[in-house]
Amino acid sequence: MPTYIVLLGPPGAGKGTQAQAVSQTLGLPHISSGDIFRENLKKQTDLGKLAEGFMNRGELVPDDVTIAMIRERLSRSDAKNGALLDGFPRTPAQAEALSTMLSEFDGEVDVVPYIKVHEEVLIERLTGRWTCRAQGHVYHEKHNPPKVPGSCDIDGSELYQRDDDKAETVKRRIRVYLEQTEPLIEFYRQRGKLIEVDGTKPIEQVKENLLAVLPDTEQTNDLGA
């Protein structure tokens, strides 16, 4: 049976940071809806052009588009043993659609770590975030600085500040999260899937706590295959 893990939490909680760290350990691909949209934006595909305005305003891309995009991504061969989802689902309709599509792949959402961080911390985290151009690796100017300023430790590419990490857009994104995504906490809690993880601890400690609650999948999955 494939293993599907959904990382839940507000923008800036540390989902991408943790997903990068644990994806390799678990042998599951890290699927970030935001990264896929940004990749499409960079390549100026139809999907990227459609998503651009919503992203710049800090709003959600419409459900039908987002669900179709994730369905296509999950059907690729590297996700045959499951996936670590980051940024999807973000609305109750997306969560329902995910359940339906995973049942088609003979799977289900196995566990939903909810990375919990107070709202006040999020603005400081997002406005200090630096992202790598090539693959979206994330840094923070204070909490997780790169070894060489402006350059990604992993692939050497340039670091940039996302347009939607400006203070005004960040505030809008947090509002959108509270209105549209926060209900998913109860959705998954009621289904017995939710596990709270304190996201205010240092990155390494969050990783340890997260790994402790995740299923051990590395025996069965091989990302390199």
Q: Interface with ligand AMP by CB under 6 A: which residues?
A: 11, 33-34, 37, 54-55, 58-61, 66, 87-88, 90, 94, 164, 173
Decide if 172 is catalytic: no
- Tell me the backbone φ, ψ of residue 62, rounded to 5 degrees: -55, 145
Distance CA 89, CA 112 (A): 11
Which of ligand AMP, ligand ADP, none interacts with 88 (beta carbon under 5 to 8 A by kind)? ligand AMP
Segment contacting ligand ADP by CB under 6 A, of 4-12, 65-73, 90-98, 106-114:
4-12
Distance CA 121, CA 11 (A): 11
Find all residues with CB under 8 Å of 70, minimum gap 6, and list them.
31, 33, 85, 88, 94, 98, 101
Residue 85 sits in the site that holds ligand ADP (CB under 6 A): no
The least CB distance from residue 150 to ligand ADP, in Å, is: 14
- 167-176 and 46-57 helices, crossing angle to 10°: 100
- 15-26 and 203-213 helices, crossing angle to 10°: 50
Distance CA 52, CA 223 (A): 31
Set 38, 73, 125, 129: catalytic member? 129
**Which residue number, 79 or 197, has a Cβ lying nearer to ligand ADP?**
197
Residue 139 sits in the site that holds ligand ADP (CB under 6 A): yes
Which of 2, 3, 6, 16 forms a contact with ligand ADP (CB under 6 A)?
16
Set 125, 173, 193, 207: catalytic member? 173
Decide if 162 is catalytic: yes
- Do the Cβ atoms of 214 and 22 come closer than 8 Å? yes
Residues in contact with ligand ADP by the rule CB under 6 A: 9, 11-17, 125-126, 128-129, 138-140, 143-144, 199, 202-203, 206
